[in-house]
Amino acid sequence: MKRIAVLTSGGDAPGMNAAIRAVVRGGVARGMEAFGVRYGYAGLMADNMIPLGPRDVGGIIGRGGTILGSARAPEFRTEAGRMQALHNLNARGIEGLVVIGGNGSQAGAAALAQMGFAVVGVASTIDNDLVGSDITIGVDTALEVALEAVDRLKVTASSHGRAFLIEVMGRGCGYLALMTGLAGGAEAIVIPEVETDPEEIAGVIRESYEHGKPHAVVVVAEGAKLNAAALMSYFGQHQERLGFEVRATILGHVQRGDDPTASDRVLATQLGAAAVEQLAQGQSGVLVGMIQGQVVATPYAEVLSGSKPIDLNLLALAQMLNR
C-alpha cells in the first residue's frame, strides 16, 4: 500500500492529534504517503484533503482537539454519499483509510469497508462506549477535567452548605459519570445502566445533611433518565426535605477541550501506529483498540453488534463509601 488517508470524525476527543501524528509518521516510516481529510466524512465526500508529511504533524502530540477538524455527516449514511467518497479516494490513488472516532464514525467506516475499500478504525471517544477497546482515546483526559470540576464545586458547595448535581457527558453510557463519581468521592452517582428512583437520591442528600457533611455531590450521566434537569425539577418540589439547597452544573463540552493526558497520548500513539500496521498487512474492516494492555484488532461485525458493559461493582463501592 503506497498511499493512505486519515480522518477524525464525530465528537472530538483529546488525543486525536497524537493518533493523526502516529498514522502519518507510521505511514511514512513504511514508505507510504499520507493525506489528511478535513472535517471527517463531510470532507471525504467533498474531496477536502491535504497531503500530510512528518513536519505537518510536528508539535501536535500534546494538543487537544483535531488539526483535521471533525464533523457529524448524516449524508455519509446514504449509498450515494459513500459512493462519492469512494470516487474521491480512488481518484487520488488512496488505497487505505484510517478512521479515528467513536461508534457512529466506526459504523461509517464499516460501511465503506463493506464496499471493498480498505479501512481500519481507531477507538476514540470520551464516552468509552466502544466494544473493542477497554479504554478509548480521550476518556482519561475528559475524566480529569470532570474530576477537577467536581473538586472545585465541592469547595464552593462546602462554603455554602449546598448539594450539587454535576452532569457529565457520555451519551448513553455511564462510564464517565461512574468514574468521575468514584474518583470525586460523590455521595451519589446516577447512570443510565441503573434505574434510579429520585427519592433514593433525595434520601442520600438528606442523610448527608443529617450526618453533618458540609455538602452533597451527585454525579449524573447526561444519558440517565434522571439527568440533572429531571432531578432539579423533582427536587424543586421537595426542597424542604433535602436539608441542603441544591444547585446543578452541566459540564458539557468543557470535558472535550483539554490537552491530552500522558495516558491518552500514549494510547493514541499506539493505536494510530497499529492502524497503519493493519493496513500494511492487508487488513480491513477492523477497529484497533487496547484490550488488557494489548493492542487488538477487532472485526467491525463484533464491534458494532455488541454493547460495552460497565463495572457495576464500582457503583456499589462508591455507594458503600458515601457515608
Contact predicate 138/15, CB 8 Å: yes
Mark the segment that binds ligand F6P (CB under 6 A) among 19-27, 163-171, 190-198, 264-272: 163-171
Comparison of 9 and 88: residue with beta carbon closer to ligand F6P: 9
- Asked if residue 171 binds ligand F6P (CB under 6 A), the reply is yes
Asked about 140 being catalytic, the answer comes back as no
In the complex, what is the shortest distance from the CB of residue 105 to ligand F6P, in angstroms, rounded to a whole number? 10
Comparison of 171 and 213: residue with beta carbon closer to ligand F6P: 171
Q: Which of 12, 56, 127, 258 is catalytic?
A: 127
Cα of 205 vs its chain's centroid, Å: 30
Contact predicate 123/130, CB 8 Å: yes
Cα of 262 vs its chain's centroid, Å: 16
Residues 6+ apart with CB under 8 A from 68: 6, 7, 8, 20, 36, 37, 38, 39, 40, 43
Mark the segment that binds ligand F6P (CB under 6 A) among 61-69, 88-96, 119-127, 308-316: 119-127
Show the DSSP H helices in 186-256 as ranges: 198-210, 228-236, 239-242
* Footprint on residues 282-311 left by ligand F6P (CB under 6 A): none
In the complex, what is the shortest distance from the CB of residue 256 to ligand F6P, in angstroms, rounded to a whole number? 6
Give, as one character, the DSSP assignment of residue 221.
E
In the complex, what is the shortest distance from the CB of residue 18 to ligand F6P, in angstroms, rounded to a whole number? 18
C-alpha cell at 51: 497531503
Mask for 218-247, x = binds ligand F6P (CB under 6 A): ----x-------------------------
- Asked if residue 144 binds ligand F6P (CB under 6 A), the reply is no
* Footprint on residues 16-75 left by ligand F6P (CB under 6 A): 72
- Asked if residue 192 binds ligand F6P (CB under 6 A), the reply is no
In the sheet where 33-37 sits, what is the strand order? 49-52, 33-37, 3-8, 96-101, 118-123, 286-291, 294-299
- Asked if residue 125 binds ligand F6P (CB under 6 A), the reply is yes
- Asked if residue 169 binds ligand F6P (CB under 6 A), the reply is yes
Q: Among 44, 73, 126, 147, which residue sits at the site for ligand F6P (rule: CB under 6 A)? A: 126
CA distance 33 to 27: 7
Beta strands in the chain (DSSP E): 3-8, 33-37, 49-52, 96-101, 118-123, 162-168, 188-190, 216-221, 245-250, 286-291, 294-299
Q: Among 127, 167, 193, 264, which residue sits at the site for ligand F6P (rule: CB under 6 A)? A: 127
Task: Give the residue numbers annotated as catalytic, written as ranges.
Answer: 127
Note the residues at the interface with ligand F6P (CB under 6 A): 11, 72, 102, 125-127, 169-171, 222, 256
